[in-house]
Amino acid sequence: MANIYKIARLVIFLILTSMSLALFSYGTFYLKLFKHTEVRIEDSVVARFDVPTEYVGKDSFWWLPTGKSKIKLMNFSNSSFQGVLHLKITNNPCQNSKSVKLEDRVFRIPNEEEIEISQNFEIKPLGQKSLELIIDNNEDCLLSNGDSRNFGIRIDGWKIDEH
Amino acid sequence: MVILGILESELTDGKLMNIRNVSSKSTINLTISIGLALTLFRLFQVRNIEPIFGPYDAPSYFNFVFSGGIRMPLITFIFSTIENHFAIVVFQTFVSGIGWILLCASIVRLNKNIFVNFLSITLIYFLGYSKQVVYLDSGIDAESLNISFLVILLSALIFSLKRSTTSIQVFILLSCILFAGVKSINGVTVLIPLMYLLVKIWRSNESNLITKKILSALTILTSLLSVYLFSQIQNTKLYNTSALINSRLWDVPDWKEYIIEQGFPVQARSTFLRFTNQNLGSAPDAAVGNQPDYIKWYQAGGSNFLLKFMLTHPGYTFLGPVVYPVFTKELNFENTIWRGAADGILYFESRQHQLAKIWPENYIFWAKDRSTGYVQVSIFVLIIAISLLAFRNPTKLELSLRNLIIFLLFFTFSMSYFAWWFGSTPSDLGRHQFPFAVSLRVISILSLTLLLNNLIKLKRS
């Protein structure tokens, strides 16, 4: 009886130790070192702009004013990510935006054409990150319809995927 | 009063009030004082918080039905008696405070060394007052009382290690009743500690035959009643079956084939995907649950599908909860009970609640990121494993403690497996596995005290 008990205890010890090793390797190597994640970045990280969302039908867009804007990235999951933010942008109604600087990269803005700009980022679990965006216009773009905004660029859509 | 009586009788059990007893008494007094101070602080913190009242789930807790409702009778009795939401939060906070004091006192009683005692008190209160546990108090649901009654049950079992008096046996029985009365799944898992109690009653030398017979009869009655009440619960089996098929079983080709062979309507799968990909005003499993072809399949035998699947797929049944990745192409522990143990119950949304915001983080027991969470759990499991190794000349108490650790492991994993087999969809896994997560941490603290006591003994010899 004592021997059976000893063997049972040893079996439990071996099962627990193997499970512990498996979990340790999984958390340390697979997830942390090799940067795998259990959740998809697309389902976990979102971008928020510091201007209101506007709509044409079901399509949303954001008008960013000339000068400095912030894009806030929010991670809803408790996994860290290395991702890429893609923004589809078009010039302002005056077609006078020259360039846009997203963090440390500068993109030239063509007239009447949609382009995609992107920026790599790293975000911590449940963390937030602010990306700086600076729009450089030749001159002000003020419309005569009573809207007092100095238009910079229009963001037609955004997408986040893994780096 | 029963609890205070137990503590009192343990301290002045008529043997000798020698120095060790005095020091043990002062340690327990210290434990209770710290616990009461922390409980008061916790009550002070909840004074202004808004109780979380889920519009779909919470109302059912106020509808007291002894048998045949959708909740267990004890929880509905408590909530419908108190009625006021804020008073429920205060009650939950108070019960939780008492639970952690009892657990702490029960572990402290096992130790002789002041350092181990200090460490045990610190660790238990760190766990009991961690954000994950404290946050539960704010919810109008069964989660807070479930954890509190589990903790009280664990403390009762630990109390029974040193002496198995009638009052301690009654304490175990009462805590089993409390634990079984809050959640339907507990109605089944409580059978494990009840069987343990039955063995304790008949192996004890401290009570007479009549007392043994009465206690045994009450234990058997409690077992039968809890299983009966569990079987009468109109639970969400209809929704859970579709949720588990769609979110867990469908991804493995062999299992998918089996599901289709069993006549599961493929349209139900499309509905699940449609409602998952877009917010169409209903939860995906509820959308499937309301679909006529699914209901028809369910009524024609689908209600037993999960059980049948488990019987025909023993690999899934026994290995699935812990090593699910062996069945899938992806190396991913997200669907296992380990994720529940690593993650806990707090998600981004719940972290926005007042109570979660004001309460400090506790990274000793709950890592902020998931990968560290797995590493943490691996350490807890390793501590438990090492404590099971043989020690030189173990005392009777050490042997009993080691046996209790094995028993608690069995109880904890059974609790977790049951929840995983019949619930624990990816979105609900944290909540379903939270008792497992807490219990595993408590067992690892217990194991650590056993290890440290042995190390100290080895050093001295």
Has residue B331 been placed in a domain?
A: no
Task: Give the mean pLDDT of chain B.
Answer: 88
**Cβ pair A85, A163 in contact under 8 A:** no
Rounded CA separation B243/B325 (Å): 19
**Percentage of chain B surpassing pLDDT 90?**
55
Q: Does A29 contact B at CB distance below 8 Å? A: no
Q: What is the largest CA-CA distance in chain B?
A: 74
Q: For A117-162, what is each residue's pLDDT tens digit?
A: 999 999 999 999 999 999 988 788 888 888 888 889 999 999 999 8
Residue B109 has pLDDT above 60, yes or no: yes
Is B426 contained in some domain? Answer: yes
Per-residue pLDDT band for B12 (boundaries 50, 70, 90) equals very low
Q: How is chain A split into domains, by residue range?
A: 1-36, 41-162
CATH architecture classification, A41-162: Sandwich (2.60)
Point out which residues pair with A46 in neighbouring strands. A74
**CA count, 13 A, side-chain hemisphere, A159:** 10
Asked if A21 is an interface residue toward chain B (Cβ–Cβ < 8 A), one would say yes
State residue A56 phi and psi, 5-degree precision: -120, 105
In a domain, B259, yes or no: no
Establish if B296 belongs to a structural domain: no
Write the Ramachandran bin of A35: left for phi over 0, alpha for psi from -120 to 50, otherwise beta. Answer: left
Residue B273 resides in a domain: no
Question: Of B348, B374, B382, which has the smallest distance from its Cβ to A27's Cβ?
Answer: B374
pLDDT in tens, chain A (163 residues): 778 888 999 999 999 999 999 999 999 999 999 888 888 999 899 999 999 999 988 889 999 999 899 999 999 998 999 999 999 999 888 888 888 999 989 999 888 788 999 999 999 999 999 999 999 887 888 888 888 888 899 999 999 998 8
Distance CA B439, CA B179 (A): 14
Residue B279: per-residue pLDDT:
76
Nearest-CA distance from A88 to chain B in Å?
23
Provide the pLDDT for residue A119.
94
- Pairing of the two strands A105-108 and A151-162: unpaired
B205, with CB counted inside 10 A (0-12, 13-18, 19+), is exposed
pLDDT tens for residues B142-176? 999 999 999 999 999 999 998 889 999 999 999 99
DSSP, collapsed to helix, strand or coil, labels residue B330 as coil
pLDDT in tens, B366-404: 998 999 999 999 999 999 999 998 677 788 888 899 999
The answer to the question of residue B141 being in a domain is yes
Domain with B130 in it = 2-235+351-460
Q: Which helix (H) or strand (E) holds B57?
A: none
Tokens for A9? 């205890």
pLDDT value of residue B13:
45
Question: Which residue pairs, CB below 8 angstroms and at least 24 apart, start in B185-188?
Answer: B185/B230, B185/B415, B185/B418, B185/B419, B185/B422, B185/B423, B186/B72, B186/B146, B186/B226, B186/B415, B187/B72, B187/B226, B187/B227, B187/B229, B187/B230, B187/B233, B188/B226, B188/B227, B188/B230, B188/B418
Q: Which residues of B touch A (CB under 8 A)?
A: 322-323, 331-334, 338-339, 342-343, 347-348, 351, 368-375, 377-379, 381-382, 384-386, 388-390, 402, 406, 409
Q: ipTM of the predicted structure?
A: 0.87
Percent of chain B at pLDDT exceeding 70: 94
Contact A27 B368 (CB under 8 A): no
Does B261 or B286 have the greater pLDDT score?
B261
- Joined tokens for residue A127: 């963390």
Residue B303 pLDDT grade (very low, low, confident, very high; cuts 50, 70, 90): confident
Per the domain annotation, does B128 fall within a domain?
yes
* Number of Cα atoms under 13 Å in the Cβ half of residue B330: 13
What's the confidence (pLDDT) of residue B6? Answer: 52
Higher-pLDDT residue of B439 and B425 is: B439
> Count of domains in chain B?
1
Residue with tokens 């072809």: B293
| Any B CB within 8 A of A7 CB | no
B19 pLDDT higher than 50: no
Token code pair at residue B373: 């969470």
